[in-house]
Structure 1
Amino acid sequence: MTRPYNFSAGPAMLPEPVLQRAREEMLNWHDSGMCVAEMSHRGKEFMSIAEGAEADLRELLGISDEYRVLFLQGGASSQFAMVPMNLLRGRTSADYINTGSWSKKAIAEARRFCTPAIAASTEDDRFSRAPVQDELKLSPDAAYVHYTPNETIEGVEFPEIPDTGDVPLVADMSSTLLSRPLDVSRFGLIYAGAQKNIGPAGLTIVLVRADLIGETLPGTPAMFDYGIHAKNDSMYNTPPTYAWYLAGLVFAWLKELGGLAAMAEINRRKAAKLYAAIDDSSFYANPVEPRARSWMNVPFTLADPALDGDFLAGAKAAGLLTLKGHRSVGGMRASIYNAMPEAGVEALVEFMREFERTRG
């Protein structure tokens, strides 16, 4: 079977070697007689999987002992609430940078618990750029500063990490974590839904500095308390065991590739090839300011929107799936996360050029 290239924004494609290994281990993981999905999360077999996955993730990102690594449920959307519930710590306001759809959702949820101050917003520019440091109106009294380094829908990415001084920086890295090296020490907390670069839907990774946990809002449910999850090694309740296992296989795959520096070079090349195809054409266009173009999510439009349907049908016939843009943006969107091979991007570029030649 020849697998098509899946450009879905998430759940996204997984590395083929990971899927092959999962298939090999499906019925009998390491002679245990069990599938991982059948294991007790407190049994020695799964505990070894969990410990190995955390060790590999810490190695990939250079995570120090100052941080707790949590494997949780609820997706990034639950983190929109968990962050203020855990990190306000007696304060009543936090700074938020508004750069797109996911930033707006985080801000809306934060309003349930505090007064989110908008440190910068690019909404008037149709979320087509990332603010520069001088634009940020940060308060030294804020409990934390929240931003979304990569906006999946709009295809906007911060080219640098904002400087927030002594105020903890919080980042929703659902669509960019593990796509390149990262200085985790710059952050108070990082969270990421797994279904883009990490593994299947159902798992959320949280990296939180230990000194920031332990002082939740009154009435915070136990399942929303980082401290409880940290004390229980993410086993306070039954975790998403199979998703955790698959994430561990992805971490091992990344190490085999040469780590995040090697992955970054691949991702840089993929993005450059696709943006070059768009920029060298009068038929395709990308709305994002070049300095803030995402490596992971590339939206583009056709000169004639009436051809969108034909483009998508032709792409599907060519084995290029899930290219329709988000309904709020329109056009097309190619999500080219870690698991998308360069060959997939090259196949898309070839199709785009042929479609322009015959239909442009």
Structure 2
Amino acid sequence: MSYTGPGFEPPQPRRPRRGPLTVALAALVPGALLGWAVYASVGGPGDDKGAAGSASTPASTSPSASASVSATSRAPSSAGASPTAGPDGGKPGASPTATSPSASAPAASGPLKGKVVVIDPGHNPGNFQHTTEINRQVDIGTNRKECDTTGTSTNDGYAEAKFTLDVAHRMRTLLQEQGATVRLTQDADRPFGPCVDERARIGNKAGADAVVSIHADGSGTGNRGFHVILPGAVRAGAADTRPIVEPSRALGERIAGNFVRVTGSAPSNYVGGGTGLVTRKDLGGLNLSTVPKVFIECGNMRDSKDAALLTSGAWRQKAAQGISDGIVSFLRG
């Protein structure tokens, strides 16, 4: 994928926020930086499949707000990127045979009782069989864009769509254990899609307290690390993200900090300027959302070292834990 194009913005300096949250975050940053120093001293995430992110599983759900962790947005394909991986890659593509999101089992009692989380696994595994349908244009507020894409894959053929569903299932279990009501935008339970606009509507209709779209990137070899994509301020057509910009940034920061802590993975070395956070204005899944929402690119499937992590079940469990811990931290304030 390319990381330039309409609406792409480099991470902007954060304006200081006031109040208890600022104090809490300031207290946590030294810990996050210490963790990062340990990470750097041992040479980053493990190079062996399944050994990555040797950091211990999260001991708590408190925020690890690392403002230095940035996330790149799903941007148009860059050199070396998979031609099938597009900016909104594999998002909301409406299928006529499925009219409601995959429902979760009844939530258990826990700290998130009464909270609704929508998980958006990027790219339906069946999209490649429905190229005509997913190539149709849909309105994303600022312009029109493809309904969905097929997503990318590792060089050995492990599909992004398979990765995103696996992580989504693991997250659902973890969040339900915390008492949340969890819904998926798709669970390979429809022929294709949903389209990016429908994916946004699913979260909106559910009145979600948080929505996270799961992805893996398809950039060039040597490009490594994760990134979180935040919505920019958009007011055009059906899109008005202004009310969700700040809460979405808070959600993204909590996820990024916890992702580093749990997986040991580094922020992207090719977008976001090492911050792990990138703002985008050209993604329908974000533009049309009326509830706090972010994307996370968990790594680069086209880099052999990142691919070794993404194809490891043990590492995917850590990824799910890190993202879930970030959501829990955000929802508990």
After TM superposition, the score normalised by the length of structure 1 is 0.28
Higher RCO by CA contacts (8 Å cutoff, separation 6 or greater): 2
Larger Rg: 1
Q: Give the number of the structure whose residues are more often helix, by fraction.
A: 1
